[in-house]
């Protein structure tokens, strides 16, 4: 589906709230589970057998993205991906999303349409529909997304890890952090890392596969690997030890580290927003597509190679 176009220089104020809503709705195809989609006071969904899982995230311009670093379509992909990944981390698959968009009146209307196209394209990767949302004026672009999904088995929580189990990861890790480091220094290469920051590639099939394989705890790595491993450890009441030699450091991360005088492993251990998955399993039950990277023991907290880690552990909002 092509993106609707508006005359160059047309702002949101020029198009108006309902004119923009009409254009946005045309970009969001509806799945067969949607009984009532955008346009009414609320969406109505057909819920089949299983567990309903819901997640909400915010993206604020200047905090989570910059329009000079990423296109509107990129921001759309990122906004959808981080919410789809939260459902993935429960062992489920998202089927419906809503979007709240706050934006200045002088924001180009085409930006909003291109954002919607990117969002819809990311949702299509898992077969999810955008079933509604809201628009309002704001001083900067603010995006609020709610994702609704289903698990065919019991959702995998953060609190089920037990001593004697192993820790494994699925998906890329450290790539987005490398891209952010590059952009923060005013560069655009290695391009593969910049693109990883702009459009993460969560392992959408890995969450349900982990649940089916008996994962006991799982989390989406959005803030940082060490930080999010810490959430698993705290919620499960266990200690987690990461093995640095279990991580393959790709050449682009070596290049960024060499250019910035940093440690490439720090990008992996402290990086977030690739939306990889971290999960615990009984020994011998780690499914294909996952890599064992650590162990679960008695105690509390997270160590790296058996010692306290003194590098950056991840993002905090305050």
Whether residue 316 lies inside any domain: the answer is: no
Element spanning 207, H or E: helix 206-212
Quick one: pLDDT at residue 39?
65
Examine the domain organization and report whether 118 and 28 are in the same domain.
yes
6-20, 66-80, 114-128, 156-170 — which is least confidently predicted? 6-20
Whether residue 158 lies inside any domain: the answer is: no
Mean pLDDT of 37-52: 71
Compare 202 and 24 and report the one with higher pLDDT. 202
Quick one: pLDDT at residue 205?
97
Among residues 151, 181, 211, the one where a domain terminates is 151
11-20, 170-179, 182-191 — which is least confidently predicted? 11-20
Q: Residues 46-69: pLDDT tens digits?
A: 777 678 889 989 999 998 999 999
Please report, rounded to a whole number, the percentage of residues in the chain having pLDDT higher than 90: 74
Examine the domain organization and report whether 179 and 232 are in the same domain.
yes
pLDDT > 60? residue 318? no
Query: What CATH number does the domain containing 280 carry?
Result: 3.90.650.10
Quick one: pLDDT at residue 282?
98
Which two structure tokens, joined as six digits, stand for 156? 């995998």
Examine the domain organization and report whether 304 and 174 are in the same domain.
yes
Among residues 93, 122, 151, the one where a domain terminates is 151
Quick one: pLDDT at residue 317?
61
Q: What is the largest CA-CA distance in the chain?
A: 63
Confidence of residue 157 (pLDDT cuts 50, 70, 90): very high
Mean pLDDT of 286-308: 97
Whether residue 66 lies inside any domain: the answer is: yes
C-alpha to C-alpha distance for 115 and 99, rounded to whole angstroms: 11
Quick one: pLDDT at residue 126?
97
Quick one: pLDDT at residue 259?
87
Examine the domain organization and report whether 66 and 197 are in the same domain.
no
Number of domains comprising the chain: 2
Examine the domain organization and report whether 177 and 302 are in the same domain.
yes
Examine the domain organization and report whether 141 and 54 are in the same domain.
yes
Q: Report residue 211 CA to chain centroid gap.
A: 19
Examine the domain organization and report whether 172 and 295 are in the same domain.
yes
Which two structure tokens, joined as six digits, stand for 283? 């020994």
Of 99, 215, 56, the C-alpha closest to 151 is 215
Q: Residues 94-140: pLDDT tens digits?
A: 999 999 999 999 999 999 999 999 999 999 999 999 999 999 999 99
Whether residue 108 lies inside any domain: the answer is: yes
Examine the domain organization and report whether 248 and 178 are in the same domain.
yes
Among residues 121, 151, 181, the one where a domain terminates is 151
Whether residue 156 lies inside any domain: the answer is: no
Quick one: pLDDT at residue 38?
75
Helix (H/G/I), strand (E/B), else coil: 171: coil
Whether residue 91 lies inside any domain: the answer is: yes
pLDDT > 70? residue 316? no
Mean pLDDT of 264-282: 96
Query: What CATH number does the domain containing 27 carry?
Result: 3.30.1330.10
Q: Model pTM?
A: 0.87
Q: Residue 214 sits in which domain range?
A: 166-308
Average pLDDT, the chain: 91
Where are the extended beta strands (E) located within 14-171? 34-36, 44-45, 51-60, 93-103, 129-137, 142-151, 166-170
Quick one: pLDDT at residue 232?
96
Confidence of residue 42 (pLDDT cuts 50, 70, 90): low
C-alpha to C-alpha distance for 208 and 169, rounded to whole angstroms: 14
């Amino acid at each position: 589906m092509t993106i609707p176009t508006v005359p160059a220089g047309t702002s949101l104020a020029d198009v108006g709230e309902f004119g923009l809503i009409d254009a946005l709705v045309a970009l969001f195809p509806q799945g067969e589970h949607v009984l009532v989609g955008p346009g009414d006071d609320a969406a109505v969904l057909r819920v089949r057998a299983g567990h309903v899982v819901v997640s909400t995230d915010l993206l604020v311009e200047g905090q989570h993205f910059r329009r000079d670093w990423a296109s509107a379509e990129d921001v759309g992909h990122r906004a959808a991906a981080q919410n789809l990944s939260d459902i993935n981390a429960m062992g489920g698959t998202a089927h419906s999303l809503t979007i709240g968009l706050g934006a200045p009146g002088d924001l180009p209307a085409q930006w909003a349409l291109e954002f919607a196209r990117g969002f819809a394209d990311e949702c299509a990767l898992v077969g999810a529909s955008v079933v509604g949302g809201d628009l309002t004026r704001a001083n900067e672009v603010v995006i609020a997304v709610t994702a609704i999904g289903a698990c065919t088995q019991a959702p995998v929580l953060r609190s089920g890890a037990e001593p004697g189990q192993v820790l494994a990861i699925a998906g890329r890790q450290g790539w987005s952090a490398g891209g952010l480091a590059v952009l923060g220094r005013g560069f655009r290469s290695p391009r593969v890392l910049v693109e990883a920051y702009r459009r993460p590639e969560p392992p959408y099939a890995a969450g349900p596969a982990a649940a089916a394989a008996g994962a006991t705890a799982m989390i989406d790595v959005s803030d940082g690997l060490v930080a999010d491993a810490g959430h698993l450890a705290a919620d499960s009441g266990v200690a987690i030890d990461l093995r640095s030699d279990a991580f393959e450091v790709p050449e682009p991360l070596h290049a960024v580290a060499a250019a910035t005088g940093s440690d490439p492993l720090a990008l992996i251990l402290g990086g977030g927003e690739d939306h990889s998955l971290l999960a615990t399993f009984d020994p011998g039950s780690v499914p294909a597509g996952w890599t064992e990277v650590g162990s679960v023991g008695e105690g509390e907290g997270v160590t790296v190679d058996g010692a306290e880690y003194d590098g950056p552990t991840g993002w905090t909002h305050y």
